[in-house]
Amino acid sequence: MDFETILKGLELLFSGWGMVYLVCGLLMGFIVGVLPGLDSVNGAALVLPFSFTMQPEGALLLIAGIYAGNSYAGSVPAILINVPGSTGAAATSFDGYPMALRGEGLRAINIARISSAVGGVVAALLVMPLMMPLSSIAIRFQSPEMALVGLLSLTVIGSVVGGSVSKGLASVIFGLLLASVAASPETGTPRFSMGFHELYEEFPFVPVTIGVFAFTQMFAFAANLGGEATSSSGLSSEERKRMLRDRTAASHSPFDGMLESFRYVRTLMRSTLLGLGIGILPGIGTSVSNFISYGMARRASKDPSQFGRGTPEGVVASEAADNAVAVGTVVPTFILGIPGSGTAALMLAAILIHGWQPGPKLMLDHGVEIYSVVWGSLFASILIVPIAMIVARPLLWFARLPREWLVPPVLLMSLIGAYALRNSLFDVALALIFGVIGIAMRLAGYPVVPMILGVIIGPLIEQNLIRSLVLSQFSIGIFFESATCKVLWCIFALVVLGTIYRVVERHGQATSSMGQ
Amino acid sequence: MTESTGKLVVLCIRLAVPAAMAMFCLVFLYQILPMSELSSFYPKLLIVLLLAVFVPFLVVSELRAYRAGTFDAAEVQPKTHSVEWGVMAVLVGLLAAWTLLFGRIGFFLGSLLVFWGMALTLMRVSLRNLAKLAIVSLVFMAFVMFLFSYLLEIPLPTSAWGL
């Protein structure tokens, strides 16, 4: 383990603007977290175009702060109004909301806050010593192995994210195809550029990201697609104030429940380890971790009947896993160049903007900067505790913000963001087009995250695939030669079999429910 | 809208995405056909996968679900029924107008007009709301100008009047 690099990472975090970016990210993460319908990925998409004015580690710290802040803050509306502010907080509402109905809202929020902080800190401490050894294994990967890792990750992502496997995989392949709208990496020939010089070099992934994550979300929010607008504005301002007062009435101190998470230390540690493990697997991310963690805590509990009725253990399980996932996703992102989640994909996009090459060599070339980001995740988790207490009241104000005051600023910032990266109106138009495509995909039930991951890691897969084929004179035998390739094929076979099993099982359930 | 019409609308929406993917694939394929094997191998591989496997599978499974009555219209219908399509169209139109006019009338004026347009589309118009809108939009524009011009040092287009 390279202690010197780890310590230099800590030094880098505290030098210059590192902590300022981290705290700004944390505050922004709090805001996107409490706004139902917005997630860390939307917040990161908003700041991505401006990140080119910062140092790469500054951009990464900003996004890491957003990720950590959002992971905690999503629990606030989940607890108080039963509307999860982020996907990772969905299971928090199962017990957080019943607690709020008993007037214990503040207690539940404090439990969520401490569980989030512990989950993030423990996960970061575990990740740090793992990164260098994993990186030294990954550095031995040649082009065939890298191409296979990319394909394997995208297969996992496509089959896990969203409700339908075929739609997820179609979304991934569409993303890969979009990424190939650029000069061929081997010959330099422009492909499908339609005369636009903006498409000659590489497919501009930043405007696509802004379009899909910021525009689509705001269009959906403004037009009440899926009922997001009504969930936050169905009540008058006075009614909401009274409701929030009632739901925190049983707490007589702002510190109520602060140490209660430690009563469930086994759940806290189990959920953290589970979240970390899920975070390390590419693409699965927070959307499933909190449910799995909640389910495991329920099974392990002495009194499972209390789950769903407002037990603090349910809140602990969901929140600790959620923040641990956020830290875990940095491992595949920086070691293999395969993002662990949508927000991690934007971290990868941020380093691409600065010309860093993602992949196993990244840790060797920029280990100090990467460790500063892991340290940043650790400190962000610690800072959640005091900062979230200070900004609790303004955050509730954001949670009550009606759509007419939220949509115009976010859309305008997104427009300017799309323009600012290359001072190009082409990018703005592209973002707008992908905003509309995102809406169509959402209506038809296609997940957009696999498409974006396909767009971002598409060039890496193509380069390695073509390089391998050129080396082997177009013989696919090269993908079966090394022991690593064979192991990867075995994992690939297991993933495919698991997916087929899941589809058959779901089909069986649907048929039996129709029969009934 | 009757239930059968609603299901048909949902079916059309669901078929539109694979249809659009197929169209994109065909146009892309036409473009890359004359290219060398090395340049076109990878996109061709993806196009074949989409056109030969996924698009037919998606279309057939949607049609089969629609015919068998297992079509999950209940999930999509409430979304499509309560959606304010007009609002979405106005927003897209305003953003497209911003893209076209941005270079001519300058960032400040263009953004201010679009901000007002979007807010007025979404809010209930009253004298109090209009006053609030004027203040919020001006504060927001001042913040954006400060952020870009001074902090990030990114030049934004100005109009003939210097704004």
Q: What is the pLDDT of residues A296-331, one digit of tens each?
A: 888 888 888 888 888 999 999 999 998 898 889 888
Average pLDDT over residues A85-110: 86
Write out A142-161 in H/E/C secondary structure: CHHHHHHHHHHHHHHHHHHC
**CA atoms within 13 Å, Cβ hemisphere of A44:** 28
- How far from B78 is each of A446, A510, B10, B69, CA to CA, in Å? 17, 21, 11, 18
Going residue by residue through chain B (163 aa), what tens digit of pLDDT does each one get?
Answer: 666 777 788 888 889 999 999 999 999 999 888 888 888 899 999 999 999 999 999 999 888 888 877 665 555 555 556 678 888 899 999 999 988 888 788 888 889 999 999 999 888 778 888 898 999 999 999 888 888 877 777 778 777 666 6
Record: contact B95-A432, CB cut-off 8 A: yes
Report chain A residues whose CB lies below 8 A from the CB of B107: 416
Given this model, what pLDDT does residue A233 score? 45
**Please, which pLDDT band fits residue A77 given cuts at 50, 70 and 90?**
confident
What residue of B is the nearest CA neighbor of A189?
Answer: B39
pLDDT at A229 (0 to 100): 45
Least Cα distance to A115 among A293, A248, A279, A331 occurs for: A293
Most confident of A401-415, A495-509, B43-57, B59-73: B43-57
The number of helix segments (H) and strand segments (E) in chain A equals 24, 0
Return the pLDDT at A230. Answer: 43
**DSSP 8-class letter at A307:** T
Whole-prediction pTM = 0.82
Q: How far is CA A299 from CA A116, A261, A277, A302, in A?
A: 21, 18, 19, 8
Contact residues, chain B, for A512 at CB < 8 Å: none
For residue A433, count other CB atoms closer than 10 A to its CB. 16
Closest chain A residue to the Cα of B116, Cα to Cα: A408
A161 touches A283 (CB < 8 A): yes
Q: Which amino acid is at A108?
A: A
Number of CB pairs, chain A paired with chain B, less than 8 A apart: 173
Q: Looking at chain A, which residue has its C-alpha nearest residue B147?
A: A50
Check CB contact of B51 with chain A, cutoff 8 Å: no
A173 or A359: which leads in pLDDT: A173
pLDDT at A361: 84
**Min CA distance, A51 vs chain B (Å)?**
10
* Integer Cα distance of A140 and A142 in angstroms: 6
- CA quadruple A185, B39, A333, A129: dihedral positive or negative? negative
Q: Which two tokens stand for residue A266?
A: 């086994």
DSSP state of A191: -
Contact status of B40 with chain A (Cβ, < 8 Å): yes
Determine which helix (DSSP H) or strand (DSSP E) holds A77, and give its type and residue range. helix A75-80
CA A216/CA B94 separation, integer angstroms:
15
- Distance between CA atoms of residues A51 and A193, nearest Å: 26
Q: How far apart are CA A278 and CA A323, in angstroms?
A: 11
Mean residue pLDDT across chain A: 84
Burial class (CB in 10 A: 0-12, 13-18, 19+), A102: middle
Reported as a pLDDT band with limits 50, 70 and 90, residue A280 is confident
Asked if B54 reaches chain A (Cβ–Cβ under 8 Å), the answer is yes
Measured between alpha carbons, how far is A188 from A408 in angstroms, rounded to an integer? 41
DSSP H helices in B49-150: 55-68, 73-82, 85-105, 107-122, 127-146
What per-residue confidence (pLDDT) applies to A237?
Answer: 58
The reported pLDDT for the residue numbered A283 is 59
With cut-offs at 50, 70 and 90, classify the pLDDT of residue A252.
low
Q: Determine the average pLDDT of the residues in A442-467.
A: 87
> Which residues of chain B are within 8 Å of residue A167 when distances are taken between CB atoms?
58
Q: Assign A132 a pLDDT band (cuts: 50, 70, 90).
A: confident
Rounded percentage of chain A residues whose pLDDT exceeds 70: 90
Chain B: nearest CA to A192, how far in angstroms? 6
Question: Within a 10 A sphere around the Cβ of A251, how many other Cβ atoms?
Answer: 18
- Taking residues A243-268, report their average pLDDT: 78
pLDDT for A183: 81
Cβ–Cβ gap B41/A469 under 8 Å: yes
Res. A160: pLDDT tops 80? no
CB B148 to CB A462 under 8 A?
Answer: no
Q: Which residues of A touch B50 (CB under 8 A)?
A: 170, 173-174, 177
Q: Under an 8 A CB cutoff, do B122 and A404 touch?
A: yes
Question: pLDDT tens for residues A182-234?
Answer: 888 777 788 877 778 888 777 888 889 889 888 888 888 888 776 544 444 44
How high is the pLDDT of residue B159? 73
Highest mean pLDDT among A170-179, A291-300, A409-418: A170-179
Number of H-type helices and E-type strands within chain B = 7, 0
pLDDT of residue A238: 62
